[in-house]
Amino acid sequence: MPAPSELALASLQARMAAALLASDADGQALPEALFAGAHAGAAGLRVHRNTVLGALSNALRLSFVAVDRLVGEAFFDRMAVEYARAMPPRAPQLDEYGAGFAAFVTGFPGTEGLPYLGELAQFDWQFAELARDRPALETGGPMLLLDGGVRLQFLAPLRLHGARYPVDRLREAILAEDAVALGALELTPGDYRYALWRTPEGVRVRPLRLPSSRFLAAVYAGAGGAEALAAAAGEAGTVAAVAEILAQEILPAGFVRVGA
């Protein structure tokens, strides 16, 4: 039956979208005047609802691989469906869907024994974003001049990531299905910092101490060599000590080249 002329197409589409994502019977109901037929409009949308929610859940699963492995398929689907209903996609590119998922699953009912779940999801999201960031393979990072004419050429844009749990080792153990390594992890809150960057072989990650993290943050914010070293040293550190830490952590990482 044609829609009444006073009902705009956009309004009708919005109503149908809301009905597709609704979790209760009242929300799933559609006006009989608009969807008259052998079956109620809500019944006709049931198959489409399953398709839509399944597609959104699978899109999230591709981005949050470690979270999916950790909690299991059924529980992940439950979190994903509730997230989709609360925060449906605003663009047709589903590979970019899920920016708010980490915050959503933090404290999700049933995850009380996984206080690190939200941080693991944030770490997963960093990998997912870098994996689809194709320009990162073509554009290098900044170039930095240090005392003595030493030049540091950063080969890739970096992302700096902070966490309260060792999410790098946690994610690695989960994806490797290494129960021994997972059980041996000390999952108590602390201060963990990482650099992540993309290479042709995939996303790489490097644990950092605070001085290295400060140094890289300053470099990518546009600081010069002296400023970056001063930021890394902090109030109580020395440049000499910082230089030793940088030589241990940054130079072997593979994202920087030393020249003169």
According to the model, what pLDDT value does residue 23 have? 60
Q: Are 209 and 249 in contact (CB under 8 A)?
A: yes
Copy the structure tokens of residue 170: 């946690």
> With bands split at pLDDT 50, 70 and 90, how would you rate the model's confidence at 1?
very low
**In the predicted structure, residue 170 carries a pLDDT above the cut 90:** yes
Residue, of 1 and 21, whose pLDDT is higher: 21
pLDDT in tens, 197-247: 988 888 999 999 999 999 999 999 999 888 988 899 886 667 778 888 888
Return the beta strands (E) in 99-255 as ranges: 143-145, 151-154, 159-163, 192-199, 202-208
Q: Is the pLDDT of residue 159 over 70?
A: yes
For 98-140, what is each residue's pLDDT tens digit? Answer: 999 999 999 999 999 999 999 999 999 999 999 887 665 567 7
Q: pLDDT grade, residue 46 (50/70/90)?
A: low
pTM for this model (two decimals): 0.82
Mean pLDDT of 147-173: 90
Q: Is the pLDDT of residue 53 over 50?
A: yes
The pLDDT of residue 163 is above 60: yes
Sheet containing 202-208: order of strands: 159-163, 192-199, 202-208
Average model confidence (pLDDT) across the chain: 84
Task: Tell me what pLDDT residue 153 has.
Answer: 87
The two structure tokens encoding residue 221:
């914010």
Contact 130, 97 (CB under 8 A): no
By C-alpha distance, which of 160, 147, 152, 151 is closest to 240?
Answer: 147
Say yes or no to pLDDT of 76 above 70.
yes
25 pLDDT more than 80: no
Question: What's the pLDDT at 11?
Answer: 67
Q: What pLDDT score does 14 carry?
A: 63
Q: Which residues contact 223 (CB under 8 A, 6 or more apart)?
A: 231
